[in-house]
Amino acid sequence: MKKYPLKEIVKIFDNPEISGNTNVELSGIASLEKAGPSDLSFLGNKKYAHEVPATKAGAVLLPRNYSGELPKDSTVIRVDNPSAELAKIGAIIEAALWPKATPGIHPTAFVAESAKIGENAYIGPNSTICEGAEIGDNTVIQGNCYIGRFVKIGKDCAIMPNAVIMDYCELGNRVRLQPGAVIGSDGYGYELVNGAHVKIPQVGKVVLEDDVEIGANTCIDRARFDKTLIGAGTKIDNLVQVAHNVEVGRACLLVSQVGISGSTHLGDYCVLGGQVGVAGHLKIGSGTMIGGQSGVNGDIEPKSYVRGTPPRPYMKAHKIEILIGHLPELVERLKDVEKHLGIEKKTFIK
């Protein structure tokens, strides 16, 4: 296993402050608990701060403002954001493990004559590029992908295996689709006519702006009309459902299994925790944070921090959950009060 001198590694960090042995050599990355003398570790979440003193890591990245006990045998590197600095190393490793495909079109791919393929683009095996599609420079489309009619894909995009982009959808620059993502599936719309559910044609499109990332097996439905929009810099996790005519603002984070119903608008920098469900035709203000498994059935003001069903301010929802845990005890106390007062009416619980 190749080892790398710490002196070389720290050159990619932003103004690191180093204390300890600068001659250490490292060959791996590990958590604080599992790291050994040849590993680099980091403190990216304060809940693990108690593990710092006991870590056996050869070197550890700590926030500049860390004031706790230091490990005895580790070289300490203080930076503004340990997780972000570690990501720089991860990017180098990623490039080595998964080098970018050599530009060209695989012989098993189908590319329509009217499609336009940009410079240094790659079209992988068994992929289909349909009539009128435009693929930007340096974009990589891996195997078994389907790019529909008149789709527009920008520069430097990465489309992973088995992703589908349906007709007329548009992707900006540096968009990433993970395996199995579906962009532009029909919106879910029906009208009850004479006792039968009649499908409403979905004739709009999906627009993903620059630097959007879509997780594996996530579906973004095409609009009933106009467009479903995902704003620049938004990152969407695996197994998320975004319905027709939804508009998601810039730099939002949607965690796994979120579901957003049709025509709901999210502002910029919203964060939706795992399994949040949002009803249709709502407005979620910019900067809102919604805790996991919440059910949203009404508009939310900007910069709210809520959780629960229906959503309430985060700490209020937490207090309510604590009180619910005491309900059996409170009912018994109420029964004792009724008995003491001679109230014949029984409580609602026997």
Dist CA 246 CA 261 (whole Å): 7
Count CB-CB contacts under 10 A for residue 280. 14
Q: Considering 50, 106, 197, 244, which one is annotated as catalytic?
A: 244
What's the maximum distance between 2 C-alpha atoms anywhere in the chain?
89
Count CB-CB contacts under 10 A for residue 259. 17
291's torsion region: left (phi>0), alpha (psi -120 to 50) or beta?
Answer: beta
Rg (CA), the chain: 26
Dist CA 223 CA 166 (whole Å): 12
Structure tokens, 268: 């910029």
Dist CA 297 CA 337 (whole Å): 38
Q: Is 244 a catalytic residue?
A: yes
Q: How far is CA 243 from the centre of its chain?
A: 17
Query: Collapsing DSSP states into helix, strand and coil, what is residue 42?
Result: strand
Structure tokens, 182: 């579906």
Dist CA 70 CA 59 (whole Å): 11
The DSSP output letter for 67 is -
Ordered DSSP codes for 178-190: -TT-EEEEPP--E
Ordered DSSP codes for 1-26: ---EEHHHHGGGSSS-EEES-TT-EE
Q: How far is CA 297 from the centre of its chain?
A: 22
Query: Who's near 119: CB < 8 A, 6+ residues apart?
Result: 103, 137, 138
Residues identified as active-site:
244
